[in-house]
Amino acid sequence: MRKEVLLSDAPGTRVLLLGNEAIARGAIEAGVQFVTGYPGTPSTEIMETLIEAAPHLDFVAHWSVNEKVAFDAATGASFSGVRSMVIMKHVGLNVAADSLQQLKLIDIAGGFVIVSVDDPSGLSSNNEQDNRWYAKFAGLPAIEPADLNEAREMAKRAFEISEELRTPVILRSVTRLGHMTGDLELGEFDRNRREPNFDGTRQWTPFPCLEPERRLREKLRQAGEVFERYEFDVYQGMGSEKIGVVGAGFAFNYAQEAVDRLGLRGEVALLKIGTVNPLPNRIIHRLLNHVSQVLVVEDVTPFLEEGIKAEAQGIHRPIQIHGRKSGALPEVGETILDDVVSALADVVRQESPDRALPSDVLLSKGRAEQSTAIQKLIPRRQIGFCAGCSHRATYYALTKALQNAGIKDPIVVGDIGCYTLGFYPPFSILQTMTSMGASMGTSDALAQLNPSRKVIAVIGDSTFYHAGMPGLLQIAQQQRPVLIIAMDNSVTASTGQQPHPGTWQLTDERTVIPIEDIARAFQIPHVRVVRSLQIKRLIRELEEALVLDVPAMIVSRQACALEPGERWRERTVVAKVDAAKCDGCLACVEEYGCPAFVAAEDGEGKMAIDPVLCNGCASCKIVCPQGAIYLERLEPEE
């Protein structure tokens, strides 16, 4: 369905797309010939969409092992003269940053677009990070869309701009745009397909760097003029308003809606900023020339506020700039409309104390108190592993193995993925987590400095390939007695089951490179592979490995329960609770915590298993001390 829309050559048609799909559509319209990236919420769907479209339009689209590899691969494509795009979440650019800082100095051939999706409030991330600073840091042109149509349009135009300036262009988006569905219009296809052709007569290197550094600054000055042609920045005013409201990219929506809610349309000037770097100073001056107060609405950091403030210094008249830095809006967290409404109301009151404002646009104090009181009654809903998830089985086995081995104060180092939920009940077993792959280096030093304690590092399969391998090499080379548990569920599960070099489930003919082969090649002396749901055996293997004083790896392997193929629809058994045996001890919930465990309807405190939620993995049998859990065979559906 969506695929038809994405491939449709009917410009002007109004369609329904996700923001991330709109960006993908823009790349398709631009005739992109090479795309790659590494999964990461909130950017993942851009790549997934392009992978789906690629065979129909004959371009290359595939996931890379990590963001740096992706960036470097897209670089090779650009050097071959074709339009290329690299896609990642905000933190991905940290991994690719070294490549970014070099490539910026080279005159590229095919248009090169870097899509960076920031995650205000860290809705699906460990941090808030404003990648507009990367544009400024690298000195590269950057733009950010305010809505779906512009997301499509900017993704497309970024290629032209990149080719005109012969420099990479950054397209910054945010979660709310990427994960917003709405209507937009399709644009036209650019039909300039290029034959890949690497020109070996040129030197594709920044060295010696001073001349390229100088040229980069020149390109950025040019970028300012180029951007004006595209009208990414829009001024709406009469030239006489005292108040200006400025919105950066997607945050412009909050600016507009706040103005409407307060009934200020026509009374304040509005400025939408779509160019991040360089800032569009001409249009900013148009606003500054007549206002005495400016409210800047933007996500994550006061990037634009600071830029406007610097510009305002050139105007010899006091202008107050309000925003995240001034304290008018919260310093951290995603922009919230209600905050913008009250900040704007404050600015209006300051400017014209007599101007009456509608009083009912924010929750009344009484109503807000009522909400708070109700929220206190509502139980928290801790997120946990899916029914049938192999990670639950592994953590359960690890807990038991530690008990059996009598290890009371282990250091358990975590990493990033679904398995990070091991921080939470019922296991609460992980103790550290920083960036992807960090479990390897961190456990190496923890083991070195805490020799009397057992150090266990837990790492997901995708994370292992992404950035875990160099750290494992160091552990191996140092012969550090860390027990590494590789949580191998065949896919990059937390971002939606994307493949990686160890994915064995897919039907295509790619080579599979299993984790254990790498560990053995790295000369890890003790490597075992166990099926996660065979819990008894897993416990035994873990116990054995826990007492070794050499590096050891247990690969706990079982396909993700949500793996394409939807195992749970094909289950052959469901688990049931024998009410006569269940004594309501809740060990199943306290030690295993599968979402299919529910209170039995008799109201006597006994447990039951929800037949809809049960995945049929059969692993929970082992956890009931009364042996009350049994399996019932399902009749095969016709």
Partner 1 sequence: MTRETKAKQGPFNLIIAGVGGQGTIFASQVVARAAIEEGFSVRIAETYGVTQRGGPVYSQVRIGRQVYGPLIPKGCCHLLLGLEPIEALRRGADYLAPRAGVVLNTHVSVPLETQLGKQPDLRIETIERQLRKLGAGELLAMDARAMAEEAGGATTTNVLLLGAMCGFDVFPLSYNSVESAMRATTRPRFLEANLVSLDRGREYALAVKNVNQNN
Q: Is 598 in the site for partner 1 (CB under 8 A)?
A: yes
> What does 95 bind: partner 1, ligand TPP, none (CB cut-off 5 to 8 Å by kind)?
ligand TPP
Q: Least CB distance from residue 446 to partner 1, whole Å? A: 29
> What does 356 bind: partner 1, ligand TPP, none (CB cut-off 5 to 8 Å by kind)?
none
Whether the Cβ atoms of residue 294 and residue 307 lie closer than 8 Å to each other? no
Nearer Cβ to partner 1 (129/253): 253
Q: Which of residues 73-102 bind ligand TPP (CB under 6 A)?
A: 89, 91-92, 95
Nearer Cβ to partner 1 (200/379): 379
Alpha-carbon distance 373 to 370, whole Å?
A: 5
Q: Is 261 in the site for partner 1 (CB under 8 A)?
A: yes
Amino acid at site 246: V
Q: Least CB distance from residue 88 to ligand TPP, whole Å? A: 7
Q: Is 418 in the site for ligand TPP (CB under 6 A)?
A: yes
Q: Which of residues 40-59 bind ligand TPP (CB under 6 A)?
A: 40
Reading phi first (left if > 0) and then psi (alpha if -120 to 50, else beta), residue 121 is in left
Binding residue for ligand TPP, selected from 256, 301, 443, 492, defined by CB under 6 A: 492
Nearer Cβ to partner 1 (566/578): 566
Binding residue for partner 1, selected from 586, 600, 608, 631, defined by CB under 8 A: 586
At residue 577, φ and ψ (nearest 5 deg) are -110, 130
Cα dist from 474 to 449, 450, 451, 482, 601, whole Å:
15, 17, 17, 11, 54
Q: Which of residues 124-143 bind partner 1 (CB under 8 A)?
A: 124
At residue 37, φ and ψ (nearest 5 deg) are 175, -175
Q: Is 501 in the site for ligand TPP (CB under 6 A)?
A: no
Q: Is 244 in the site for ligand TPP (CB under 6 A)?
A: no
Cα dist from 214 to 162, 202, 205, whole Å:
18, 19, 15
Binding mask 359-378 for partner 1 (x = CB under 8 A): --xxx---x--xx--xx-xx
Q: Is 632 in the site for partner 1 (CB under 8 A)?
A: no
The partner residues of 486 in beta bridges, in order of sequence, read 459, 555
Whether the Cβ atoms of residue 116 and residue 100 lie closer than 8 Å to each other? no
Q: Which of residues 331-360 bind partner 1 (CB under 8 A)?
A: 336-338, 341
> What does 461 bind: partner 1, ligand TPP, none (CB cut-off 5 to 8 Å by kind)?
ligand TPP
Q: Is 489 in the site for ligand TPP (CB under 6 A)?
A: yes
Distance of CA 513 to the CA centre of its chain: 25
Nearer Cβ to ligand TPP (170/582): 170
Q: Least CB distance from residue 486 to ligand TPP, whole Å? A: 9
At residue 136, φ and ψ (nearest 5 deg) are -70, -40
> What does 206 bind: ligand TPP, partner 1, none (CB cut-off 5 to 8 Å by kind)?
none
Q: Least CB distance from residue 171 to partner 1, whole Å? A: 19
Distance of CA 270 to the CA centre of its chain: 31
Q: Is 36 in the site for ligand TPP (CB under 6 A)?
A: no
> What does 479 bind: ligand TPP, partner 1, none (CB cut-off 5 to 8 Å by kind)?
none
At residue 486, φ and ψ (nearest 5 deg) are -90, 115
Reading phi first (left if > 0) and then psi (alpha if -120 to 50, else beta), residue 295 is in beta
Q: Is 234 in the site for partner 1 (CB under 8 A)?
A: no
> What does 40 bind: ligand TPP, partner 1, none (CB cut-off 5 to 8 Å by kind)?
ligand TPP
**Stretches 54-62, 70-78, 415-423, 515-523: which one binds ligand TPP (CB under 6 A)?**
415-423
> What does 492 bind: ligand TPP, partner 1, none (CB cut-off 5 to 8 Å by kind)?
ligand TPP
Burial degree of 8 (CB within 10 A; 0-12, 13-18, 19+): middle
Q: Which of residues 186-205 bind partner 1 (CB under 8 A)?
A: none
Both tokens of residue 368? 């807000």
Nearer Cβ to ligand TPP (335/494): 494
Q: Which of residues 444-473 bind ligand TPP (CB under 6 A)?
A: 460-463
Stated length of the chain: 638
The three-state secondary structure class of 92 is helix
Nearer Cβ to ligand TPP (416/596): 416
Q: Which of residues 541-580 bind partner 1 (CB under 8 A)?
A: 562
Q: Which position has the token pair 């210094």?
A: 313
The three-state secondary structure class of 455 is strand
Rounded (5°) CA angle 477-483-487:
110
Q: Is 385 in the site for partner 1 (CB under 8 A)?
A: yes
Distance of CA 129 to the CA centre of its chain: 11
Nearer Cβ to partner 1 (451/603): 603
Binding residue for partner 1, selected from 257, 306, 311, 351, defined by CB under 8 A: 257
Q: What are the DSSP calls for 117-148, one per residue?
A: EE-GGGTTSS----THHHHHHHT--EE--SSH
Q: Which position has the token pair 């490597």?
A: 527
Q: Least CB distance from residue 499 to partner 1, whole Å? A: 18
Q: Which of residues 519-538 bind partner 1 (CB under 8 A)?
A: none
Both tokens of residue 409? 């104060």
Binding residue for partner 1, selected from 166, 179, 531, 621, defined by CB under 8 A: 179
User: What is the crossing angle of helices 337-351 and 252-261, to 10°?
Assistant: 60
Q: Is 417 in the site for ligand TPP (CB under 6 A)?
A: yes
Q: Least CB distance from residue 381 to partner 1, whole Å? A: 5
Q: Which helix (H) or strand (E) holds 422?
A: none
Nearer Cβ to ligand TPP (215/567): 567
Q: What are the DSSP calls for 539-560, one per residue?
A: HHHHHHHHT-SS-EEEEEE---
Q: Which helix (H) or strand (E) holds 37?
A: strand 34-37
Q: Is 585 in the site for partner 1 (CB under 8 A)?
A: no
Alpha-carbon distance 293 to 241, whole Å?
A: 10
The partner residues of 37 in beta bridges, in order of sequence, read 63, 87
Nearer Cβ to partner 1 (104/392): 392
Nearer Cβ to ligand TPP (42/81): 42
| Helix segments in 290-413, DSSP class H | 303-312, 337-351, 365-377, 390-404
Q: Is 443 in the site for partner 1 (CB under 8 A)?
A: no
The partner residues of 16 in beta bridges, in order of sequence, read 183
Pairing state between β 142-143 and 269-273: unpaired
Q: Which position has the token pair 């550090």?
A: 480
Alpha-carbon distance 302 to 132, whole Å?
A: 10
Binding site for ligand TPP (CB under 6 A): 38-40, 67, 89, 91-92, 95, 416-419, 436, 460-463, 487, 489, 491-495
Binding site for partner 1 (CB under 8 A): 1, 14, 16, 41-42, 123-124, 147, 176, 179-183, 250, 253-254, 256-257, 260-261, 336-338, 341, 361-363, 367, 370-371, 374-375, 377-386, 418, 421, 425-426, 562, 586, 589-590, 593, 595, 597-599, 612-613
